[in-house]
Structure 1
Amino acid sequence: MTTEIRKEKDRVFLDHIPVLRWGEGMDNSFIRSVQLTLNAIGENYSYIFLMGVSGAAFRLHFHTEWLADSADATTGFDVSKILFSSLGYEAGLHSINKERPDEVKSLYRRVTAHIDRGIPVISGKLRGDPGWGIIAGYLKNRTGLVCRTYFDQDEKYTQVDTPPENSFFIDKVGHARDYKELFRDSVRTAIHLAKTKSFSGYRSGFSAFETWIGILNELPDSLGDKDLISNAIIFNCLADARQAAAGYMTLMNNHIDLKNGNRIVAGYNDEVDLLKDVREDLNRLAKSALAGSGAGEGEKEPQTRGGTREPQTRGGTREPQTRDGTRKTGADGKEVQVLLKREAEVLVRVLDIEKEVIRLMEG
């Protein structure tokens, strides 16, 4: 799919960029935005392939302060660095202070130049909502952007009047690396993510599982609404990632002689099945918490560069997570504890499989 530049009376934009939607098995907002941006300029990459090549399919981050931006693919272990270089692209991160007019003007000049070349821009926190999205155009007669976000109300492009703080501008600078090399490197990335304890303060891999499980077992009655929402966000991120991992490893197994390939694929499929068992109930609980906390739908996938979540602590120390002393979910406290204990039990079983999968990769 290659888009065309359309020029109307009041705007210039790239047409035919698909709508971004939750719940379609492509919930990693950064990877999905990159995929549609690359598709728009003629690169026929799939979501699953980009999840695998970048390492996002094998990633799990967790922060002890229940930071939901653990789910952001550019937080901690920043997958963008591997992703763009592997495909022969340079992608500079353009960050601005929205209170500085000179920086805002510089951003708009760069956006205009990119759109005029037929290249979308990947940006975070468009419309003020969390997550990553796509700048598909600009307004001609005044400041404003034409965008795709996960929070659009319909299939029409969304008009945004405020500039994003963080954007990636991609440019082709070389050729994509050989598929076999990419596949083999992605296995090394999977092992690295699993066995490295932390990246920039975020627990990773085995350590992330163990920390998460420990907190769920020790403090299930101290989690307030925001933490229950964060918990569901991280859980959904894990489920989406491992579903992509199963698909990616199947693709890899079909292209190269992958040792233990069938067993690795089976392991990831087993993880996906286990995560499904509790995912729906956690989302139901988070939905109740979202309504009770007064937060908007945009809390589904808070990001860091894509949109930082409200800090989870005050004064730099971990405070009780029911900050106002109340639980607004409407769920019985005992019911919440039972569900979180069940979640912990599922994560223990997933971790056991994960360790075996990584052992098979190392073999």
Structure 2
Amino acid sequence: MISADAVGKRISTLRKEKQLSQEQLAEQLNISAQAISKWETGKSLPETSTLPLLSQILGQSIDRILMPQQLVVLQAIYTDGCESYDVTHFINQFVVDNCLTFFLNDQTLPHRIHSHRIKLLLIKYQIPSGTYAAYVLQDNLLAIHLDSEGYDLPSGELEFVFTAYGNERKHLNIMNKMKHYQYFKWGQFTATHELFPSLIDNHGEDYLLLVYVNASGIHAISCPEGDSIHYTSDRTELFGSDSVNDCCIVQNVGQLGFGQGMDCSWAGALYLSLKTMGQETTYETVMGVSGACWRVAFTPVWDYSSADALVAYDYAAPAFKAYGLQVSRTDRITSKERELEMRHIKESIKKHHLPIAINLRVAPEWGIITGYLNGGETLLCRSYFDEETFEEHKADPEFQEHMNISKGYLNVDQWPFSLIRFNGEVAKPSALDNLYASLQVKLDSMYAGESRGYKLGYQALQAWREGLLDEQWYQTANPQDFARRLGVNHFCLMALTDARRSAAIYLKDMLSFPAASLTGYLSEMADVYEQMHSRLQPFYASLTDVKSLDTFHSPKKVWTKEQRQQQADLLQSIEILERRGDELARRILAAAGND
């Protein structure tokens, strides 16, 4: 029998483990924070439709959430102290009757670390008596049960639980030396043979490996001979040497920019990151599986942010599920939290798992972090505003010299207020399952209510039309306000045109996958979205480029009453086609349920 109290406590624990507030979890699930509070206090259970996404966000199976065992793995990290993979969901499958037994070797995990460093599995787990940590070295057996004596998590300074010097072939346990050095409160440890003698018959490079626990869990960090590992100022964490020579740049990451067939900046940044990770995909597929190809959002105050794919609806979660990605999100973190996040960013870059973030430079649009210089003091990126900078400084020799150093990437100018890192993979759904999920997102988002001041779906189209037809406003508006509304209109129309183009391409691509019973509906739906794009694109192209407004005496000469009426009529025709798309989506989902 499912216990609402037990489920609520488990959700609360897992949410806090992911460092999410109730509001942040609610936003990702597209529900209210009050609903989360009711779950966690045992007053209600999650809706069935919410469980798959909740499972993905919390990194636990639905069964582990609804029928929680007394032993739960809160975090499992496979690492060599440099490269790491989150395998929490995978390891939890081995918890049987409140016991975890797992033999760690190259064949038992879904990931490989190709290095000569010592490899190990770090476990943070919870049992009725509290939260503890454990580890197991490669080629050894891990066994945890309710009576296991794991490592306590200290509230103050970190505590070492395993230290070694050498490599995966041969190494020395150096715990006694580390306790000696700790006595003198050293601020750093340099990996040298003077401090940590090497085995005489050891071949290959030596590494210093330090495994420690702190209030947040268990961690491992490793550095090669000659490098250093440092304490943070409060001595609760360790980090690698941030020397001037510490840099990592992932080369040959493509360009971003509006008007290049990737006008949704979030989807464009995700597409580049996926390509760098070796995922075979297209921008249109990213738009399709996420559901962003169906999106339309609008705020009656006419703001550019309406075109941001994630501003009012979470299209990111379906995309991450479709590509089998485990992610970490940080939003509006404090300056104190940035030191730790910077280390995570650097680790991701070294693995070619490039983070995507919003507001990297110029304006709040999504981009991709491509590398770092000077130990992370300088981050590099691709953004949607690079081409203007390249053109402006093409004759500047100092700028060109920096481009040689940065491999053609521009500096990140400001700390992003939202950032997404990719830190593990799980099994991917089939292409058909992704299609069904996408169509459900379409139906949900087109009929969703207002979110954070933004209207969605049909409400957005209606608000946009009403704003276009408010002739009194246009007659009395000053030139600055008029020009701003004109710019917002262009930006939103660009986003809508790009989205419907992507929808048509995605649906056409999916024609090769479904069963015969779905082909007719899917083909017709693709035609519907081709019609939408064929109406939107010529109208958008006919509008005067907002960049040329300075050549006109008044912006009111650029955007006429007749054009606004034409666009309002166009949006009405788009709504009719959208409703036909809804009908076909329902038929496809109904037919799929009968297969």
TM-score bin (small chain): 0.7 to 0.9
| Residue correspondences, number | 318
Question: Counterparts of 1:193-212 in structure 2 under 5 Å?
Answer: 193-212=445-464
Q: Shift of residue 336 of structure 1?
A: 2.2
- The counterpart of 1:239, out of the listed 494, 497, 510, is 497
Q: Is the 8 A contact 2:544 2:558 kept in 1?
A: no
Deviations 1:258-298, CA, capped at 9 Å, x for gaps = 242222111111110111232023352x3345x59xxxxxx
Q: Shift of residue 11 of structure 1?
A: 3.2
Code of the residue aligned with 1:273 in structure 2: it is S
Q: Is the 8 A contact 2:273 2:355 kept in 1?
A: yes
Please state whether the residue corresponding to 1:111 is helix, strand or coil: helix
Partner of 2:579: 355
Does 1:71 pair with 2:307? Answer: yes
Partner of 1:35: 271
Seen in structure 2, the aligned counterparts of structure 1 residues 49 and 142 have a Cα distance that, compared at 3 Å, is closer
Seen in structure 2, the aligned counterparts of structure 1 residues 172 and 59 have a Cα distance that, compared at 3 Å, is same
- The counterpart of 1:275, out of the listed 536, 540, 553, is 536
Partner Cα distance (1:329, 1:241) in 2: 33
Q: Is the 8 A contact 2:483 2:555 kept in 1?
A: no
Comparing 100-109 with 272-281, greater Cα deviation is found at 100-109
Ranges in structure 2 where 5+ consecutive residues have no aligned partner: 1-243, 391-406, 588-595
Q: Shift of residue 129 of structure 1?
A: 2.5
Code of the residue aligned with 1:74 in structure 2: it is L
Which structure carries more helix by proportion? 1
Does 1:340 pair with 2:564? Answer: yes
Partner Cα distance (2:525, 2:572) in 1: 18
Partner Cα distance (2:286, 2:270) in 1: 8
Seen in structure 2, the aligned counterparts of structure 1 residues 58 and 329 have a Cα distance that, compared at 3 Å, is farther
Ranges in structure 1 where 5+ consecutive residues have no aligned partner: 1-7, 293-327
Seen in structure 2, the aligned counterparts of structure 1 residues 26 and 161 have a Cα distance that, compared at 3 Å, is closer
Partner of 2:525: 264
Q: Shift of residue 182 of structure 1?
A: 0.8
Q: Is the 8 A contact 2:247 2:376 kept in 1?
A: no
Q: Shift of residue 38 of structure 1?
A: 1.1
Partner Cα distance (1:96, 1:138) in 2: 21
Partner Cα distance (1:109, 1:333) in 2: 52
Partner Cα distance (1:337, 1:102) in 2: 52
Please state whether the residue corresponding to 1:128 is helix, strand or coil: coil
Partner Cα distance (2:342, 2:585) in 1: 45
Does 1:287 pair with 2:511? Answer: no
Q: Is the 8 A contact 2:348 2:423 kept in 1?
A: no
Partner of 2:252: 16
Q: Is the 8 A contact 1:225 1:329 kept in 2?
A: no
- The counterpart of 1:101, out of the listed 317, 335, 338, is 335
Seen in structure 2, the aligned counterparts of structure 1 residues 109 and 96 have a Cα distance that, compared at 3 Å, is farther
Q: Shift of residue 146 of structure 1?
A: 1.2
Partner of 2:410: 158
Partner Cα distance (1:251, 1:202) in 2: 31
Does 1:26 pair with 2:262? Answer: yes
Please state whether the residue corresponding to 1:198 is helix, strand or coil: coil
Deviations 1:51-90, CA, capped at 9 Å, x for gaps = 0110000010111111221111111112111111232112
Which structure carries more strand by proportion? 2
Comparing 51-60 with 212-221, greater Cα deviation is found at 212-221
Partner of 2:142: none
Q: Which has the larger radius of gyration?
A: 2
Partner Cα distance (1:229, 1:358) in 2: 30
TM-score, length-scaled by structure 1: 0.81
Q: Shift of residue 163 of structure 1?
A: 2.3
Partner Cα distance (1:353, 1:238) in 2: 14
- The counterpart of 2:345, out of the listed 79, 100, 111, is 111
Deviations 1:294-333, CA, capped at 9 Å, x for gaps = xxxxxxxxxxxxxxxxxxxxxxxxxxxxxxxxxx872445
Q: Percent identity?
A: 25
TM-score, length-scaled by structure 2: 0.51
Partner of 1:129: 363
Structure number with greater CO (CA < 8 Å, separation at least 6) is: 1
Partner Cα distance (2:504, 2:496) in 1: 12
Code of the residue aligned with 1:263 in structure 2: it is E
Partner Cα distance (2:544, 2:267) in 1: 22
Partner of 1:187: 439
Partner Cα distance (2:413, 2:303) in 1: 28
Does 1:139 pair with 2:399? Answer: no
Partner Cα distance (2:489, 2:529) in 1: 21
Q: Is the 8 A contact 1:96 1:104 kept in 2?
A: no
Partner Cα distance (2:346, 2:499) in 1: 34
Partner Cα distance (2:325, 2:533) in 1: 32
Partner Cα distance (1:356, 1:161) in 2: 45
Partner Cα distance (1:206, 1:135) in 2: 35
Partner of 2:510: 252
Partner of 2:297: 61
